[in-house]
Structure 1
Amino acid sequence: MNHPATPQEQDYPLSAVPLEARKSLASMGLVLLGFTFFTATMWAGGSVGTAFDFQTMLLVLLIGNLLLGTYAAILAFIAARTGLNTALMSRFAFGQVGSKLSDFILGFTQIGWYAWGTATMAILLVKMTGLSQAWEMPLMVVFGFGFCISAFIGYRGLEWLSRFAVPAMIILIAVSMTIATNDGGGLAGLSAIVPSEDMSMAAAITLVFGTFVSGGTQATNWTRFARSGKAAVVATLAAFFIGNGLMTLVGAFGALVYQQADIVDILVAQGLATLGILMLFLNLWTTQDNTVYNFAVAGCNMFRTRRRKLVTVVGAGVGTLLAVLGMYEWLIPFLILLGTFIPPVGGVIMANYFVAWRARYPDLETASLPAFNLPGLAAYGLGSLAAYTSPWIAPVVGVVAAALAFALIHVATVAVKERRAEMMKPV
């Protein structure tokens, strides 16, 4: 039975969200859009834009974002039905102690994103205003702790910030794409542009999928507040297919025209330096607070503490340190890492929910769960290995391989247990 939340645990870090605390579709959609409107997604799109012609680029973005949206929507449906986030669902999939593996993986990736966003904002401000480079490190510290304020407040803080930032980012996207279209000579001119870089379609789709697969895996932190599975799916597809798709498209569009993946240089070339600073600040803030919030939720589950606000500040400190140490330069390798090792977590959770628990978890607080759920851990290992060695789209391979591995192991385990029980019966 879930006890009432105190002010310190108002976002239910260690329990299911009760029905009376659920949010509207509009509220949840705004928060998720604020999360997916992320500058790093534009960078990933920029890398795709320099490697393909216009038609192929659109196809890559469509496939990558559709796969990402579908993956996140399935997890969102489970979260809405159960009221649980990914960290808590991991207890069923990996065990009470085994779930700390996913806490570590997801928490590490989120704090890596936080570090990258913090460093990016400081570097952007210095580059676009002409300040001395000596300002970069102090600004990283200011932004590193400043960005976590709304996450410290909780869901309400994230929602209010998104109300301002999402419309602002939509305006920037519209203006930037209009200028890029004109500079590229319209649709005819865009179709004639020859790419300057080389990348396989599989690698490009992996990049698009991997850019936000960590966020998609942990979007359950908000979709668990949905009033129905349908509302969760609609909000998630709007954010991860349409919202994330727009961000990759504007980055790819600009890179195709200007043949460079750096969104800052593109905005400067378009004469949007001043507007770009304001919009990108809001854009980064709405993702940064969601990111450090994700870290806090994973941390609460790992250490079994309800002190979410304290874990939020600790996460901001770790992220700031990584930013100072140079996280800005590690983006592409980081994305490839995410696309390989994060999706199998979601694959195991999906299979565990639908196959092992038949789409109905027992009450988390009274459920008798093992310390380690070996089928879940083994399936995660097999899914990660399949993704790492796959020449095809690694994230998709990881999800499917982990889900199939868990289903097969679970069915085989149940069959063996039933057989042993049959043999133990007295004749």
Structure 2
Amino acid sequence: MPGSERLGVWEPATVWIGFAIAFSIAFIGSQIYFGLGMPEALYAIVIGNVFLAIYSSLIAVASVDGGLNFPLQMKEAFGKKGALLPIAVVGLLVNGWYAFQAWLAADVIRAAWDPSWYLLVVGVVILFGLPSLIGVGAMSDVVEKLVIPIMVLFAAYILFAQVIPAGTSILSQPAPGESIPFFVGVGLTWGTFAVSGTATGDIVRFAEDSKQAVLATIIAFLICNTSMMVLGALSAAALNSLDPYFGMIGLLGSIPVVAVAVVSLWSTCDACHYNATMSYTNLSSIISWRIAGVIGILAALITATTEVISNLENWLNLISILVPPIGGIIIADYFLLRRGFGYAETRVANYNWAAITSFAVAVGVNYYAYVTYPQLLPGLAGLLLCLVAYPVSVKVGVAVLGRTQMGSTFEPHNSVTETGPADD
């Protein structure tokens, strides 16, 4: 990516902040409290976000080298054609997040005013999906001008109207809902951004260097995401109920909670739709940015109106099974196999079967661990397997595992290109 296209740390950070200080993040924090109680919910949130920040920062450092977006990182790791598999997986999952955010906003409006559900959710999905076609600059403008002030007011209300009056007794409040294992709570935390954290190159490649990319990631997760999740958990503990909408339905005609949900979730949908669109455009040369954007909106419409996305725990478990192996392969490919030259050289093979096979086996291992050992951190087994098995299989492999017949895995190249809104 040319230096003239680098935006520094603030532009990528504000897009990440728009992801992290969302109504949905506080909502997920409250769900973690419902399953763990206090103070275990707070421990799980902090540990999950530390894990998330480390994982995403490693991918961010790799993406800044050459300014690669997520699809280009996949092509360098899985091969130019083999990359279609992980690109499609992440594109569909981040599209699912877009659908979930839109569904949640529509559900808040339904709880507040009980309008026609299908008309409501269709309108919300379409409205939330259109702005991302403009690009990152438009997203950061919206975040700076609308989302951050509104969410600061929301946080202030939760703190001063609910948490502080409840006192320190809420820090020992037992779980009011069905109990979950502690590391499942950690998994629910890190799973919220496992998809976007894996595709972080779509955002942080605009940073000027790896330090800025890591700083943007730390701001997003260790500060903003952690704060919003803790806020949601504390609110739920202060209310001591299973109310998912912070006791604000009915407050001043429900206008405050609807405004908070719509504005913050719209911003998050905007960014999720951008990531999904970026993935879809890289699946085929005939899929333009506009066509990919329409595909994302239609997919979200189907997912949100059928409400298959409404089971949060099952959704996050699916993410934990599928996504960590992809991140593990990015990390191992860049830091272990490309040590010393990074993305200055491109992978020769169209299919890197070492990566594809490692991914498939890791998904199977994650599913087995999920079914057999539900108390373990979801996704960790597959991630560790890819970090070890993938580079080993490349080093000992021959042509079938991604090398050419001449034995060379990489060849020099001078530049990389990306598919995005500017290409239309």
Of 142-151 and 222-231, the range deviating more from structure 2: 142-151
Q: Which residue is 1:294 aligned to? A: 275
Shift of 1:219: 2.0
Q: Deviations over 1:289-335 (max 9, x none)?
A: 11111111110111135721331122112211221112352322111
The one of 194, 214, 228 aligned to 2:174: 194
For residue 264 of structure 1, report the CA deviation from its aligned partner.
1.7
- 1:159 maps to which of 140, 146, 149: 140
Cα distance change, pair 192–358 in 1 and its aligned pair in 2 (3 A): closer
2:48 alignment partner in structure 1: 64
Q: Is the 8 A contact 1:112 1:327 kept in 2?
A: no
SS at match of 2:180: coil
Matches within 5 A, 1:139-178: 139-163=120-144, 164-178=146-160
2:194 pairs with 1:213: yes
SS in 1 for 2:293: helix
Greater shift, 211-220 or 33-42, is seen at 33-42
2:76–2:347: 8 Å Cα contact kept in structure 1? no
Distance 2:23 2:348 in 1: 40
Taking the aligned partners of 1:125 and 1:400, their CA distance within structure 2 comes to: 42
Name the amino acid aligned to 1:194: P
Moved more, 245-254 or 49-58: 49-58
Residue in structure 1 matching 2:109, options 125, 137, 160: 125
Alignment of 1:383-398 (within 5 A): 383-390=362-369, 391=373, 392-398=376-382
Q: Is 1:245 matched with 2:226?
A: yes
Superimposed CA distance per residue, residues 85-118 of structure 1 (whole angstroms, 9 cap, x where no aligned partner): 1211111211111111111110111111111222
Task: Tell whether 2:31 aligns with 1:18.
Answer: no
Q: How far apart are 1:199 and its partner, in Å?
A: 1.2
Corresponding residue number in structure 2 for 1:180 = 162
**In 2: Cα distance, 1:361 partner to 1:205 partner:** 32
Identify unmatched segments of 5+ residues in structure 2: 408-424
CA distance in 1, matches of 2:257, 2:203: 28
Q: 1:376 aligns with which of 355, 368, 389?
A: 355
Matches within 5 A, 1:11-160: 17-128=1-112, 130-132=113-115, 135-160=116-141
Aligned AA for 1:152? L
- Once residues 259 and 98 of structure 1 are traced to their aligned partners in structure 2, the CA distance between those partners, rounded to angstroms, is 49
Q: Secondary structure at the match of 1:84?
A: coil
Sort the Cα spacing of 1:303 and 1:238 in 2 relative to 1 into closer, same or farther, 3 A.
Answer: same
Offset, 1:231: 0.2
Q: Distance in 2 between matches of 1:51 and 1:337?
A: 18
Asked if the contact 2:78/2:355 (under 8 Å) is kept, the reply is yes
Q: CA deviation at 1:359?
A: 5.3
Cα deviation, residue 416, structure 1:
12
User: Residues 38 and 284 of structure 1 are in contact (CA less than 8 Å); yes or no, is this contact kept in structure 2?
Assistant: yes
Tell me how far apart the structure 1 counterparts of residues 162 and 340 of structure 2 sit (CA, whole Å).
47
* Structure with the bigger percentage of helix: 1
1:362 Cα offset (Å):
4.6
TM-score by length of 2: 0.87
The 1-side partners of 2:188 and 2:231 are apart by 15
The answer for the alignment partner of 2:396 in structure 1 is: 412
One-letter identity of the residue aligned with 2:276 = F
Tell me the equivalent position of 2:335: 354
Q: Do 2:235 and 2:246's aligned partners in 1 also have CA atoms closer than 8 Å?
A: no
Alpha-carbon distance in 2 for matches of 1:386, 1:359: 31
Aligned partner of 1:313 in structure 2 is 294
**Cα distance, 1:193 vs structure 2:** 2.1
Quick one: which amino acid aligns to residue 139 of structure 2? L
User: Deviating runs (4+, > 6 A) in structure 1?
Assistant: 269-272, 414-418
Moved more, 38-47 or 265-274: 265-274
Partner residue, 1:12: none
2:247 is paired with a residue of what secondary structure?
helix
What RMSD over aligned residues (CA atoms) do the two structures have, in Å?
A: 2.5
The structural deviation recorded for 1:376 is 0.7
Q: 2-side partners of 1:261 and 1:97: how far apart?
A: 47
Post-superposition offset of 1:63: 0.3
- Once residues 172 and 400 of structure 2 are traced to their aligned partners in structure 1, the CA distance between those partners, rounded to angstroms, is 61
Unmatched tracts of structure 1, length 5 or more = 1-16, 423-427
Shift of 1:380: 1.3
Kept after mapping to 2: 8 A contact 1:69/1:237: yes
| Counterpart pick for 1:278 among 259, 275, 279 | 259
Alpha-carbon distance in 2 for matches of 1:69, 1:375: 27
Cα distance 1:262–1:208, how it changes in 2: closer, same or farther (>3 A)?
farther
Tell me how far apart the structure 2 counterparts of residues 397 and 241 of structure 1 sit (CA, whole Å).
Answer: 23
The answer to which of 84-93 and 34-43 deviates more is 34-43
What TM-score comes out, normalization by structure 1 length? 0.87
**Percent of aligned positions that are identical:** 22
CA–CA distance in 1 between the matches of 2:294 and 2:277? 9
